[in-house]
Structure 1
Amino acid sequence: MEDDSLNVFLKDGGTLRIRLRRFSKLWVATHEQRCDFRISASGTVLRWGQLDEDISVRDLMRDAERRHRDERLTSQVPTNFPWDPTPALLSGTHPKLAGRLIDGRFVVGLTAEERFIRWDLCEDLAQQLVPKTLKDAAKYPQNSREVTLRRMRRAIANKEWTERLETDWLMERLRTLLNW
């Protein structure tokens, strides 16, 4: 046990390092209280009797897998792709954000998986628009590249496939793919 994290050593040789901030009772506990724990007979639960805190190793592993998946997905999405194209705000005197309970956590905005799916859709659409844009430019040679791109943007907006921020990103991506 370190001052800011809990290290769980697994039978298979793996290690889970969990920030204590995730567990409020452990975070505010003294070092002695943190060190006073038991492992269940099955080896699946960590128990702090003084703190009345139980932590399931299975839950820790599921959270670690989710964080690893989220990091992998996030690393594939360009940093300039929007995180939350439609923030959910609730009206009232005090500002409020709408959140969703996902796997025991409140999430405001897109999850890493949702963001990856939105980016993948936009990237695929940009790739498909390259030949369509070139065809439109050849059909209307009197139009400048900017006019052609505006025509493409209107067509995308009319379909309502993407949110405004995603459309902005999509048009920049299309411009890059076309070298315009």
Structure 2
Amino acid sequence: MISRIRPIATKVLVEEDSLSVLLKRGGSLHLPLRLFPRLLTASPEQRSDVRISASGAGLHWDQLDENLSVTELMQEAERRHRDERLSSQVPADFPWDPTPALLSGSQPKLAGRWLDGRFVVGLTAEERWVRWDMCEDLAQQLVPKTLKDAAKYPEHSHDVTLRRIRRAIANKRWTERVETDWLMQRLRALLGW
């Protein structure tokens, strides 16, 4: 959650791969330098020539013509922290982009969206978490349904039963194909089949 108190910078440290800002009321912000192309390509001397505004709300590199808002840095740090927390909850094998965009034409293209001041291709960490949570919940709900189907048709193998469940899911169109693949693997694991 973004603090209602405006963050005030007291010290700035630009290292080879990170930007750190110490804050007046405690705490600090740490962001990868790759987010700031001018700072990333600058010399160590240019990076260290930073001036904190009188209010502590802005950072200025006069040699590089770079100005950063401490509030915006805090928002970016909080977004990155949230994304890392959400990403850590999603299994590594869950698909990142279940619906890749296709654009017509002879030249390769990226289909992206402008979200929160940044260009995003594919799912955001939050969108991926929501898709995974839905698939995990569906897998949990399908366990008793699959067991019921297996009991109703004891002549069917586990694979046949899972194929029947997969067809039912595909007909509902709740998930994309790659998500359905993951869902069926998860259901198989939950059942111990």
Q: TM-score range by the shorter chain?
A: over 0.9
Query: Can you give the 5+ residue segments of structure 2 that lack an aligned partner in the other structure?
Result: 1-13
What is the match of residue 103 of structure 1? 116
Q: Cα offset for 1:147?
A: 1.1
What is the match of residue 115 of structure 1? 128
Q: Cα offset for 1:35?
A: 2.2
Amino acid of the structure 2 residue aligned with 1:96: K
Q: Cα offset for 1:102?
A: 1.0
Q: Confirm whether residue 11 of structure 1 aligns to residue 36 of structure 2.
A: no
What is the match of residue 85 of structure 1? 98
Corresponding residue pairs, total: 180
- Distance in 2 between residues matched to 1:20 and 1:145, nearest whole Å: 51
Q: Cα offset for 1:34?
A: 2.1
- Distance in 2 between residues matched to 1:82 and 1:20, nearest whole Å: 28
The percent identity for this pair of structures is 73
Listed one character per residue, the Cα deviations across residues 126-172 of structure 1 (whole Å, up to 9, x for unaligned) are 00001111111111112111111111000000000000000001001
Listed one character per residue, the Cα deviations across residues 73-107 of structure 1 (whole Å, up to 9, x for unaligned) are 11111111111111113121111110011111111
Which of 25, 46, 53 aligns to 2:59? It is: 46
What is the match of residue 178 of structure 2? 165
Q: Name the SS for the 2:154 alignment partner.
A: coil
- Distance in 1 between residues matched to 2:131 and 2:17, nearest whole Å: 35
CA gap 1:143/1:4 in 2 versus in 1, 3 angstroms: closer
RMSD, matched Cα: 1.3
What is the match of residue 143 of structure 2? 130
- TM-score using structure 2 length: 0.88
Contact 1:99 1:109 in 2 (8 A): yes
Q: Confirm whether residue 30 of structure 1 aligns to residue 43 of structure 2.
A: yes
What is the match of residue 2 of structure 1? 15
Q: Cα offset for 1:29?
A: 2.4
